[in-house]
């Protein structure tokens, strides 16, 4: 119970990696609030799973790509939790196309959720975030290596790592530690392990398999916990060796 008495907010906690992070932080003792875009049933299922295991959880609808909605969700979560110790920016979207097929709309949507949503959300959370707190951003190995037809998404994730490096310096005086977890291919609705795309990328993963959501959640729990007290401004790749 390394996170006993801590209060954690996980954006996009209704499904996939975010749901696994919310469950893991709760299992480690934190009270958890999640936000979600529109899938209330999945959000309720995450909350129910945490509560049935004896934990405390809340869910709020908040579109990370809409600044006022994102601010509203953060405020509601901070009020329900009674402050924030751990902020995990996990909500993200991917719209893959080669550059000739990219559009202004696909560019704007991905940057709105994956980058501006984090900037808006962190500014909204800061008045509620305790000194000594943690901010963990979910980037991607796409932020530092290229895959075909994913350039805009990759650019958003490169920006995510840059946000963490800058915030680590801005917030060091308050001992708020800021790091980026960069997953490789993880089996979720966004990137199913049985897809044609998966067949193309498996060969580039030395461990020869997709990752599991729990393998990302474990790394987030480490960065949120007491053993990570001297780690800030870094990126942690969890990718079966893909970037080795």
Q: Contacting ligand NDP (CB under 6 A), which of 188, 232, 235, 237? A: 188
Active-site position among 36, 107, 153, 210: 153
Nearest CA to 181 among 205, 160, 152? 160
Nearer residue to ligand NDP within complex by CB, 45 or 130: 45
Distance CA 179, CA 163 (A): 9
| Range in contact with ligand NDP (rule: CB under 6 A) among 80-88, 183-191, 193-201, 225-233 | 183-191
Nearer residue to ligand NDP within complex by CB, 5 or 189: 189
| Range in contact with ligand NDP (rule: CB under 6 A) among 48-56, 74-82, 88-96, 229-237 | 88-96
39 binding ligand NDP? (CB under 6 A): yes
Nearest CA to 187 among 17, 3, 13? 17
CA distances from 141 to 18, 97, 161 (A): 17, 18, 10
| Range in contact with ligand NDP (rule: CB under 6 A) among 57-65, 123-131, 172-180, 224-232 | 57-65
Helix (H) or strand (E) holding 170: helix 151-170
**SS3 of residue 209 by DSSP:** coil
Nearest CA to 217 among 68, 9, 16, 49? 16
Q: Contacting ligand NDP (CB under 6 A), which of 121, 185, 225, 240? A: 185
191 binding ligand NDP? (CB under 6 A): yes
Q: Could you please report the per-residue DSSP string of 22-75?
A: HHHHHHTT-EEEEEESS-HHHHHHHHHHHHHTT--EEEEE--TTSHHHHHHHHH
Q: Rule CB under 6 A: which of 90-119 touch ligand NDP?
A: 90-94, 113
Annotated catalytic residue 153? yes
125 binding ligand NDP? (CB under 6 A): no
232 binding ligand NDP? (CB under 6 A): no
Q: How many CB atoms lie within 10 A of CB 64?
A: 27
The single-letter DSSP state of residue 237 is: E
15 binding ligand NDP? (CB under 6 A): yes
Residues making contact with ligand NDP (CB under 6 A): 11-12, 14-18, 35-39, 42, 62-65, 90-94, 113, 138, 140, 183, 185-186, 188-191
Active-site residue list: 153
């Amino acid at each position: 119970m390394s996170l006993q008495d801590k209060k954690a907010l996980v954006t996009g906690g209704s499904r996939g990696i975010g749901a696994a992070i919310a469950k893991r932080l709760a299992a480690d003792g934190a009270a958890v609030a999640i936000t979600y875009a529109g899938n209330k049933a999945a959000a309720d299922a995450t909350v129910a799973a945490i509560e049935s295991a004896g934990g405390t959880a809340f869910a709020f609808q908040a579109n990370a790509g809409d600044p006022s909605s994102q601010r509203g969700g953060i405020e509601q979560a901070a009020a329900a939790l009674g402050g924030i110790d751990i902020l995990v920016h996990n909500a993200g979207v991917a719209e893959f196309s080669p550059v000739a097929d990219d559009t202004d709309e696909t560019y704007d949507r991905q940057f709105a959720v994956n980058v501006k949503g984090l900037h808006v959300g962190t500014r909204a959370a800061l008045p509620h975030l305790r000194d000594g707190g943690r901010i963990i951003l979910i980037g991607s190995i796409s932020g530092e290596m290229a895959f075909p037809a994913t350039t805009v998404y990759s650019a958003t994730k490169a920006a995510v790592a840059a946000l963490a490096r800058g915030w680590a310096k801005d917030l060091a005086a308050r001992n708020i530690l800021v790091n980026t977890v960069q997953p490789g291919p993880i089996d979720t609705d966004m990137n199913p392990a049985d897809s044609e795309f998966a067949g193309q990328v498996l060969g580039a993963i030395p461990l020869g398999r997709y990752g599991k959501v729990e393998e990302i959640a474990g790394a987030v729990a480490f960065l949120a916990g007491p053993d990570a007290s001297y780690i800030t401004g870094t990126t942690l790749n969890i990718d079966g060796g893909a970037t080795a």
